[in-house]
């Protein structure tokens, strides 16, 4: 069995603020350690469940967060950015299951530190009439390769977002969001134990979880924080303007649509 893990930071127990998630934040290095230890627990669970190979993709911010000296020896790690598949770089059809660790709800919803890729630029990503955040799009990337996403960890709103899309997914709620920057957390060791336990049960029922896909053709609408971002992204000729703050484009292939979404957000932020 081969297991893919996408490791974000906002959904890690004990992480509630940008001082922790931002590269220049004073508490960032401690949050990196908490993230690394949750990843290690997921790897332990995967190996105990029978995984022969585990690949971890660092998927937060700079994508250089995992602390190499603390990492579990049972996995290989992708760090650094940019990556074509971003938070899902490295996944392909050879994997048996994907795990979304430390994830968060999409912008526009409740949930700790909620955003969709770039909270300073984009407020909504809509595909064929349904709003998606990182959880939905990451699971759909895995689904493109027929890989089921079997577990998501984070706050109760992140796991609810996943359950709405994948009703049989396993979840590990490591903290309860009180508001966008306040949460009631499990202690690190309790969160790590929960993650290991949930990875074991998720991988045990992986064959009962259907790979999540978004069926094409795709009409994608991006809404930005203000019209200036839409102006900047409009140099990409694929888009048509919907209104001051929104673009639309059409696409037949999901991974191509995802790459356009990422390109537009990067252009807008430039
Ligand atoms: Zn993140």
Q: Where are the domains of the chain?
A: 2-106+134-208, 218-269
Name the maximum alpha-carbon separation found in the chain.
52
Q: What is the mean pLDDT of residues 20-26?
A: 96
CB 35 within 8 A of CB 65: yes
Q: Which superfamily is assigned to 2-106+134-208 in CATH?
A: Dipeptide transport protein (3.40.50.10780)
18 CA distance to ligand 1 middle (Å): 10
197 CA distance to ligand 1 middle (Å): 23
pLDDT at 147: 98
CB 244 within 8 A of CB 222: no
Domains 2-106+134-208 and 218-269 equal at CATH topology level: no
pLDDT at 270: 86
**Tokens 């001082």 correspond to what residue?**
19
Query: Does 218-269 carry CATH code 3.30.1360.130?
Result: yes
9 CA distance to ligand 1 middle (Å): 5
* Residue 75: band (very low, low, confident or very high) from pLDDT cuts 50, 70, 90: very high
**For residue 175, is the peptide bond before it cis, meaning its omega torsion is within 30 degrees of 0?**
no
- Compute the distance between CA of residue 67 and CA of residue 33 in angstroms, rounded to an integer: 7
Q: Cα dist. 243→79, 130, 236 in Å?
A: 37, 18, 16
At 139, give phi and psi (nearest 5°).
-65, -35
Q: Is the pLDDT of residue 237 over 90?
A: yes
Q: Is the pLDDT of residue 151 over 90?
A: yes
Active site residues: 115
The helix (H) or strand (E) run that includes residue 200 is helix 188-204
155 CA distance to ligand 1 middle (Å): 13
Q: What is the mean pLDDT of residues 227-253?
A: 96
Q: What is the mean pLDDT of residues 153-158?
A: 98
CB 130 within 8 A of CB 215: no
DSSP-derived letter for residue 158 is H
pLDDT in tens, 29-47: 999 999 999 999 999 999 9
Q: What is the mean pLDDT of residues 203-222?
A: 98
179 CA distance to ligand 1 middle (Å): 17
DSSP-derived letter for residue 105 is P
CB 192 within 8 A of CB 38: yes
103 CA distance to ligand 1 middle (Å): 7
Q: What is the mean pLDDT of residues 222-237?
A: 96
Pairing verdict, β 122-127 and 240-243: unpaired
* Average pLDDT value for the chain: 97
Q: Is the pLDDT of residue 218 over 90?
A: yes
10 CA distance to ligand 1 middle (Å): 5
pLDDT at 49: 98
**Tokens 């220049």 correspond to what residue?**
24
Q: Cα dist. 33→17, 20, 78, 158, 248 in Å?
A: 15, 11, 17, 21, 40
**% residues pLDDT > 70 (the chain):** 100
């Amino acid at each position: 069995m081969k297991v893919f893990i996408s490791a974000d930071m906002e959904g890690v127990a004990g992480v509630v603020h940008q001082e922790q998630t931002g590269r220049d934040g004073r508490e960032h290095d401690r949050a990196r350690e908490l993230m690394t230890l949750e990843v290690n627990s997921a790897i332990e669970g995967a190996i105990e469940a029978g995984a022969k190979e585990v690949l971890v993709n660092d998927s937060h911010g700079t994508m250089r967060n995992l602390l190499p000296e603390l990492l579990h020896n049972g996995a290989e790690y992708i760090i650094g950015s940019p990556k074509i598949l971003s938070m899902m770089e490295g996944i392909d059809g050879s994997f048996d299951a994907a795990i979304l660790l430390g994830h968060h709800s999409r912008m526009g919803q409740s949930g700790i530190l909620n955003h969709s890729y770039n909270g300073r630029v984009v407020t909504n990503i809509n595909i064929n009439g349904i709003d998606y955040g990182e959880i939905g799009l990451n699971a759909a990337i895995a689904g493109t390769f027929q890989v089921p996403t079997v577990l998501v960890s984070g706050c109760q709103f992140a796991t609810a977002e996943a359950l709405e899309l994948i009703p049989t997914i396993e979840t590990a709620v490591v903290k309860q969001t009180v508001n966008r920057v306040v949460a009631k957390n499990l202690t690190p060791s309790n969160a790590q134990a929960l993650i290991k336990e949930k990875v074991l049960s998720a991988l045990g029922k992986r064959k009962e979880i259907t790979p999540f896909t978004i069926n094409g053709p795709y009409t994608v609408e991006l809404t930005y924080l203000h019209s200036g971002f839409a102006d900047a992204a409009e140099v990409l000729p694929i888009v048509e303007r919907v209104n001051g703050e929104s673009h639309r484009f059409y696409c037949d292939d999901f991974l191509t649509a995802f790459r356009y979404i990422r390109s537009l957000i990067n252009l807008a932020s430039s």
